Amino acid sequence: MVDSRAARAAIRLHRAVLRLTGGRLGTRLAGLEQVLLTTTGRTTGRPRTTPLVAIPAGDGERIALIASNGGARRDPDWYRNLLAHPDVVVQRGTVRHPMRCRTAEGAERDTLWRVAVTAYGGYAAYQDRTDRLIPVVVCEPLVSNPQG
């Protein structure tokens, strides 16, 4: 599960590789796009960066993020942060994209969930582990030109 020491260490290592290489390494893992999500901490107001899998959500700029937390009982901190502060920065490769996030609901959530589970079957196993409905987050560009 995500709250294990090994998983936390892997996340820190992945974050470091993405940061140290400026997004040139570590952007794909098992065929899935890896991004860096920077949220504003809901209690500290400080930037918090987390590596996540990005799922295509329509056109090339919109993405979906799955708040699975490895099937843990509670939502991941990054999700709780973006509920409080929905404007985020998503780094895709070497380019930073200012985005606004929202939780998908209804048919949109169902469609994106199917896409996510097709891309990575582990999400279905995570859902089986928990009583909460795993949130699917849609991130949409705030501006048309990303920050380099």
CA distances in angstroms from 88 to 1, 15, 18, 110, 136, listed in the order given = 26, 17, 17, 24, 16
Residue of 75, 72, 50, 54 whose CA lies nearest to 135 = 75
Residues 36 and 90: beta-carbon distance below 8 Å: yes
Q: How confident is the model at residue 24 (pLDDT cuts 50, 70, 90)?
A: confident
- Give the DSSP H/E element, type plus range, for residue 128: helix 122-129
Residue 10 belongs to a domain: yes
Give domain status of residue 146, yes or no.
no
Is the pLDDT score of 3 beyond 60?
no
> Per-residue confidence at 17, pLDDT binned at 50, 70, 90?
confident
- Tell me whether residue 147 is in a domain: no
Number of domains in the chain: 1
Residues in the chain: 148
Greater confidence (14 vs 37) lies with 37
**CATH number, position 124:** 2.30.110.10
Q: Which tens digits make up the pLDDT trace of 32-59?
A: 888 999 999 999 999 999 889 999 998 7
Inside any domain, residue 126 = yes
CA–CA gap between residue 114 and residue 1 (Å, rounded): 22
Contact 36, 51 (CB under 8 A): yes
Q: What is the DSSP secondary structure assignment for residue 5, as one 8-state letter?
A: H
Within a domain: residue 111?
Answer: yes
Q: What is the DSSP letter of 21?
A: T
Task: Give the range of the structural domain holding residue 47, as residue numbers without chain letter.
Answer: 5-141
How far, CA to CA in Å, does 15 sit from each of 8, 54, 74, 118, 120? 11, 15, 22, 25, 20
Average pLDDT over residues 68-86: 96
Angular region, 84: left φ>0, alpha ψ -120 to 50, beta rest? alpha
In the block, residue with structure tokens 């928990």 = 130
Give start and end residues of each alpha helix (H) in 85-121: 106-119
Least confident of 6-20, 48-62, 63-77: 6-20
Q: Is the pLDDT of residue 10 over 50?
A: yes
Q: Give the per-residue pLDDT at 1.
A: 43
Report yes or no on 93 lying in a domain.
Answer: yes
> pLDDT tens across 87-145, in order?
999 999 889 999 999 999 999 999 999 999 999 999 999 999 999 999 999 999 997 65
